[in-house]
Amino acid sequence: MTKAMTGAKMVVQALIDQGVDTVFGYPGGAVLPIYDEIFQQNSIKHVLVRHEQGAVHAAEGYARSTGKPGVALVTSGPGATNAVTGLTDALMDSIPIVVLTGQVPTFMIGSDAFQECDTVGITRPCTKHNWLVKETDKLSSVLHEAFHIATSGRPGPVVIDIPKDVQFATGTYTEARQVETHYNPQVKGDMEMITELAAAMEKAKRPLFYTGGGVINSGPAASQLLRELVAATGFPITSTLMGLGCYPASGDNWLGMLGMHGLYEANMAMHDCDLMINIGARFDDRITGRLDAFSPGSTKAHIDIDASSINKVIKVDIPILGDVAHVLEDLLNVWKARGRKTDKENVQKWWHQINDWKKVDCLAFEQKGKVIKPQYALSRLEELTKKHDRYICTEVGQHQMWAAQYLGFEDPNRWMTSGGLGTMGYGFPASIGVQMGHPDALVINVAGEASWLMNMQELGTAMQYGLPVKQFILNNERLGMVRQWQELLHGERYSSSWSESLPDFVKLAEAFGAKGIICDDPDNLDDAIMEMLTHDGPVLFDCLVEKHENCFPMIPSGKPHNEMLLGENADVANAIKSDGAVMV
């Protein structure tokens, strides 16, 4: 059925038809007609953020925690340019979001009109796709197609730029099922390749699953199938930062996160394995370390929905183009039909080796004295919250890596962190998005004091909507990760890495009407965390921690996996040679 309505009404109608319940946004002249329509309906909640970057990160947090596309709405010009960091973040981490931007009326485009910018031009390289819609008749089909493109294949952000006259004009509304699209990425993997992988699994002596965000993006079925596959084969499994939760941290075969700040056993297993099964990860430079020394003796299989991820940096032997859940289902069936074989004896030996590596206990730390160690703070947070229905966001820096190391994730969609772009300021707005998607859950943002300040204005949003997000700030009064690199690479010349003139976080919280807690004593930490958990409302927790703690283990840039630095006693000064120092 086709209906006549204004462009602005179409926007709201299409969002309703796409099952959207929440929009994060900020109004302005070029989106007033859409805001007028939002005002006159009750199906969609609008969350007024305090900065458009916050809207996009909130939409990302909503998307990552619910598995549904996130939606943001911003005005033209500065509204659109403020959205760019969030769009790039979502592109790098393959997060499905739909961002609607207002634009000056079509007859003023190109005239340097007030609050005009070339939104589609600016966002072309940081979106999966974008549109400038110049006719109201086309608007609804573009809206529907936008959701399809954002969520199918490798997910990503899309932008729809809507001039104001298009919002006012009346046109014909097209329903989603009437919209034709040619975008239909392959989801089933090639059976020949899948069979080849099954055969390789039967022969492998030192196999390893290396999983990533693709497992999470593929949906809950993918995690389920992965767990089944790991249990059935008995192979060890590690994951990237993006994949945490696809296999439970309490699972028997879990080696922990790998990569630059990954666990010793996970990185050693990557280096020494003879069959690497990459499932939805992309051989990112945080994972591979030095390329020519990356897992030198392994046969590499790679399951990915995006052909351009295959053979991009690491040449693989068994490429499988397809969706993780589809491929894993076929892989399990093929492997079972062939008799469920593995080289048990050698895999057993492999586990002995891995268990020896585990004995290194690379995350061990000692909480002595009166200053809280960040690792201790996170261990206590883990202990006191792991039984909750819990979602964790992070900012970017040392605290992010410690959170990945010391918190355990049992399920997918519980861990929201800016992986690819490394965006400081991501976590707080993301936690707002998560809480909107899960009103009754415990949502914690593990933050650094510097990152948190980057989007602190969103405390107003949390207050306005009564979102009880817990901001757990590991306050080292340092741009800690920058300081660590300066210590290791730049002769301890701490150029601009002190967080100075910090606010009194308790007073800051109170200024917004939120609760502030400060804790600087390990003996009081549990009580303080409990106070945070039992408070029904947003909490800003200022946890004063050791200022010069370094984050280990660490694979220095330009080094292979088996040359990782384990702790304070490591020869860090000589570890990073100048050829590695050029890398970030």
Partner 1 sequence: MSPLKIKKGATSHSAYDLRPNFSDKEERHTLAVLVENEPGVLSRVIGLFAGRGYNIDSLTVAEVDHLGHRSRITIVTSGTPQIIVQIKAQLGRIVDVHKVNDLTVEGPSVERELALFKVTGTGNDRIEAIRLADIFRASVVDSTLESFVFEITGTPEKIDAFAELMRPLGLEEIARTGVAALSRGAVA
CB of 321 to partner 1, least distance (A): 6
CB of 116 to ligand TPP, least distance (A): 26
Q: What is the DSSP string of 54-108?
A: HHHHHHHHHHHHHSS-EEEEE-STHHHHHTHHHHHHHHHTT--EEEEEEE--GGG
What backbone phi and psi angles, to 5 degrees, belong to 579?
-65, -30
Give dist(CA 217, CA 97) in Å, integer. Answer: 13
Query: CB under 5 A: which stretch of 336-344, 449-457, 518-526, 548-556 binds Mg ion?
Result: 449-457
The yes or no reply on residue 398 touching ligand TPP (CB under 6 A) is yes
The one of partner 1, ligand TPP, Mg ion, none whose footprint includes residue 405, by CB under 5 to 8 A per kind, is: none
The yes or no reply on residue 149 touching partner 1 (CB under 8 A) is yes
Please select the residue that binds ligand TPP; options are 304, 330, 395, 542, rule is CB under 6 A. 395
**Is residue 329 annotated as a catalytic residue, yes or no?**
no
**Is residue 115 annotated as a catalytic residue, yes or no?**
yes
Nearer to ligand TPP, 173 or 415 (CB): 415
The one of ligand TPP, partner 1, Mg ion, none whose footprint includes residue 6, by CB under 5 to 8 A per kind, is: none
Beta carbons within 8 Å of 565's beta carbon, 6+ residues apart: 552, 553, 554, 555, 556, 571, 572, 575
The one of ligand TPP, partner 1, Mg ion, none whose footprint includes residue 121, by CB under 5 to 8 A per kind, is: partner 1
**Is residue 114 annotated as a catalytic residue, yes or no?**
yes
Give dist(CA 565, CA 362) in Å, integer. Answer: 10
Query: CB under 8 A: which stretch of 48-56, 199-207, 308-316, 526-534 binds partner 1?
Result: 308-316
Give dist(CA 311, CA 479) in Å, integer. Answer: 35
Which residue blocks in 426-577 are alpha helix, DSSP H? 427-437, 449-454, 459-464, 480-489, 505-511, 525-534, 572-575
**Is residue 164 annotated as a catalytic residue, yes or no?**
yes
The yes or no reply on residue 471 touching Mg ion (CB under 5 A) is no
Please select the residue that binds ligand TPP; options are 46, 300, 478, 515, rule is CB under 6 A. 478
Amino acid at 109: I
Applying the rule CB under 6 A, the residues between 484 and 543 that interact with ligand TPP are 499
The one of Mg ion, partner 1, ligand TPP, none whose footprint includes residue 180, by CB under 5 to 8 A per kind, is: partner 1
The yes or no reply on residue 476 touching ligand TPP (CB under 6 A) is yes
Token pair of 535 as six digits: 């408070």
CB of 181 to partner 1, least distance (A): 5
In contact, 514 and 540? CB cutoff 8 Å: yes
Give dist(CA 443, CA 437) in Å, integer. Answer: 11
The yes or no reply on residue 425 touching Mg ion (CB under 5 A) is no
Applying the rule CB under 8 A, the residues between 319 and 378 that interact with partner 1 are 319, 321
In contact, 472 and 442? CB cutoff 8 Å: no
Please select the residue that binds ligand TPP; options are 100, 301, 481, 509, rule is CB under 6 A. 481
Q: Which residue has the tokens 């817990």?
A: 470
Please select the residue that binds Mg ion; options are 79, 156, 480, 558, rule is CB under 5 A. 480
The one of partner 1, ligand TPP, Mg ion, none whose footprint includes residue 148, by CB under 5 to 8 A per kind, is: partner 1
Query: CB under 6 A: which stretch of 24-32, 51-59, 475-483, 562-570 binds ligand TPP?
Result: 475-483
In contact, 162 and 101? CB cutoff 8 Å: yes
CB of 256 to Mg ion, least distance (A): 24
What backbone phi and psi angles, to 5 degrees, belong to 274?
-110, -15
The one of partner 1, Mg ion, ligand TPP, none whose footprint includes residue 424, by CB under 5 to 8 A per kind, is: ligand TPP
Token pair of 157 as six digits: 């952000």
Integer angstrom CA distances of residue 367 from 267, 375, 379, 549: 26, 9, 11, 12
The yes or no reply on residue 238 touching ligand TPP (CB under 6 A) is no
The yes or no reply on residue 19 touching partner 1 (CB under 8 A) is yes
- Label the pairing between strands 318-321 and 390-394: unpaired
Closest to 204 measured CA to CA, from 115, 299, 293, 112: 299
The DSSP element (H or E) to which 264 belongs, if any, is: helix 264-272
Q: Which residues bind partner 1 (CB under 8 A)?
A: 17-19, 68-69, 120-121, 124-125, 128-129, 132, 144-145, 147-149, 151, 154, 175-186, 306-308, 310-312, 315, 317, 319, 321
Residues forming the active site: 52, 114-115, 164, 481
Q: Which residues bind Mg ion (CB under 5 A)?
A: 448-449, 476, 478, 480
Q: Which residues bind ligand TPP (CB under 6 A)?
A: 395-399, 422-425, 448-451, 474, 476, 478-482, 499
